Amino acid sequence: MFQKMLIANRGEVACRVMATAQRLGVRTVAVYSEADANARHVDLADEAWPIGPAPARESYLVIDKIMGIARRSGAQAVHPGYGFLAENAEFAEACAAAGIAFIGPPPQAMRIMGSKAAAKALMQRAGVPVVPGHHGDAQDLAGLASAARDVGFPILVKASAGGGGKGMRIVERADDLPSACEAARREALAAFGDDRLLIEKYLTRPRHIEVQIFADAHGGLVSFPERDCSIQRRYQKILEETPAPRLEPALQRAISEAAIAAARIVAYVGAGTVEFLTQGESFYFLEMNTRLQVEHPITEMVARQDLVEWQLRVACGEKLPFGQEELNVRGHAIEARVYAEDPARGFAPSVGVLEHLREPREGANVRVDTGVRRGDLITHYYDPMIAKLIVWDEDRRGAVLRLAAALADYEVVGVATNLDLLRAVASHPDFIAGEIDTGFIDRHRDELIAATPLTETEEIASLAAGAAAWIADLRARQATEAANPFDPWSPWGMADAWRINGDGRQDIAFDLEGRRISLRISPRPDGSYRLDARTKSVLIAAAEDEDGMRLYVDGVLHRLRVVRQGDRLVVVLRGRNHVLNYVDPLAPPPVERAAVGELTAPLPARVTRVLVDTGDIVKKGTPLIVLEAMKMELTLAAPRDGAVVEIRYAAGDMAPEGAELIVLREGEAA
């Protein structure tokens, strides 16, 4: 086994690889960009080396920098994780040239399978069915347009060199092809450093099925049960499970055999994933990912094996720990990816500080793989994944129940997340029944993203928790201000709500989900309160510590948490965030804005294209500007009809979050 290993990655996957390495006694070397100086993977490593500025193309994607650190640190091996350089054959060759083991497949296998076009051509020759499309070398727009006409719309434009949904666009009409190709090229170049494209027929109701394979250099090759990765947004998986539900045994066998054939034909060594699309009884080769896959933990859970350990042992020249017949696979596992993003805004990434983070309790049935901690900053430079939540049970029904329970225990405050969406998926009847395909999110978008109305119990509990926290903070401030070292026994220095005449009480108001709600709080001698809200009157008592708040409402206990953000309180109740904004009775009424349309940056981002000119008349929904952040492109559209009166950012500019990008005015331009 290696004595020291460099991990050429960051975040969750770097932490994941370190866990196995350290268990095996392998010292770990981390690399970090300027944005990651205080990251979790830096703290967990045995040693950490700076690698350059925050943008990945200036740090994590620079082979020479990584190899220089590998040599100077004395690393005997490099683990690439996934993403960045994980499927870069030149990186693997650079490791070999330096006498450093690359923990991945041979460069030739990476080169063949890393190119979707070359891989599909090879699979066709091997008799494995592929999705009809254009996988050739022609990259000019005319050639791509001709291929699209031959395939027939709708088609899928895809980056040839990568995965993860980057550089992918659905095109339903020929007129939309030029802009789709242009956007896909930009996104592919930013994510993979390669802007080559291919064209495929777009299947209307496919399932995304993949097979984890593992091979050693001695001819050993095993495949694990297939994974269903059909729950996706932006062509990127957010929920995966194994084995795939409702998949016919004959189709299972055919897919597994095709995956094994794909690995053998390129003399594969190491961990790899062969991906397919299925529709009805047919299946088609999609691609092979020549690396550890993001969703590998669900395979680990059902097989009770550590696939990173398998990677290290194979890279050391050892045989696979088990043969196919010795694998003992049991139960069902599901992984949900928790992202810092806002589903209601087209899954736009969210940046900010993780002011509060509480993960479900881990155990034999629940696992959390993460690269962040409370207080960390989610930046716009990298993928916005916060963590992966993995659950296991004896059967799918049990696993789905465990997933729902674990999601209810997940708490995040500080950035928008997809947690509510994941909860909605986990409880959706079609998902529970296993009726899923890649269009699941889009087909059920409205019901999955719709805000769940508060029940009366949740509303009262949220208001009571906010009131209790507000009163506790007020008393703490008053006690501090009233402290008088010259007369510590003065009754005027007490903050106990005592009044000369009548009971003490406090009137406050909160804005809860757009509704102003007035509250009257009356303290009682035993430290509890009478809370009057609208037509409801309840008795509340609260105690708060580092584990959260124990709130009693008419004797009923609620365990929750209150996160302070100035005059804003976030009440976290059963995983859901309820925001209470304190209404200052002395604040002036809000000023009406002029009829000027705002088009602001939803997060720090680089402007890649401006699609309009000053003076243009645009309709609501017209694309105006394209941004790039977190390896994704975001196209912002006009919020209303109007005229473009000012363009404040040009292509190449960095725009901070909230910056007004384009100014619109109703009517004609001046």
CA distance 389 to 407: 8
Closest CA to 255 of 209, 192, 195: 209
Contact 73, 405 (CB under 8 A): no
Angle at 655 between CA 650 and CA 657, to 5 degrees: 150
Residue 273 tokens, joined: 């994933």
DSSP character at residue 62: -
CA distance 1 to 353: 39
The identity of residue 568, as a single letter, is: R
Closest CA to 661 of 609, 615, 619, 618: 609
Contact 332, 395 (CB under 8 A): yes
Closest CA to 109 of 79, 131, 88: 88
Closest CA to 272 of 281, 280, 261, 283: 261
Contact 472, 544 (CB under 8 A): yes
Contact 422, 338 (CB under 8 A): yes
Helices 11-23 & 307-315, crossing angle to 10 degrees? 70
**Burial state string for 479-498 with b = 16 or more CB within 10 A and e = fewer than 16:** eeeeeeeeeeeeeeeeeebe
Closest CA to 204 of 276, 155, 165, 134: 155
445 part of the active site: no
100: left (phi over 0), alpha (psi -120 to 50) or beta: beta
Closest CA to 507 of 472, 484, 531, 489: 531
Give the β-pairing of 221-223 and 282-289.
unpaired
Closest CA to 237 of 377, 391, 388: 388
Q: Whose structure tokens read 């050639």?
A: 143
Residue 439 tokens, joined: 């269009």
Residue 69 tokens, joined: 């650190």
Give the three-class secondary structure for 179.
Answer: helix
CA distance 69 to 60: 12
Give the three-class secondary structure for 441.
Answer: helix
CA distance 133 to 155: 8
Separation of CA 130 from chain center? 29
Catalytic residue selected from 27, 40, 111, 291? 291
CA distance 319 to 326: 14
CA distance 314 to 563: 47
Transcribe 274-300 into DSSP letters: EEEEEETTEEEEEEEE-S--TTHHHHH
CB within 8 Å of 117: residues ≥ 6 apart: 135, 136, 137, 160, 196, 198
Backbone angles phi, psi at 512, to 5 degrees: -120, 110
What are the catalytic residues? 291
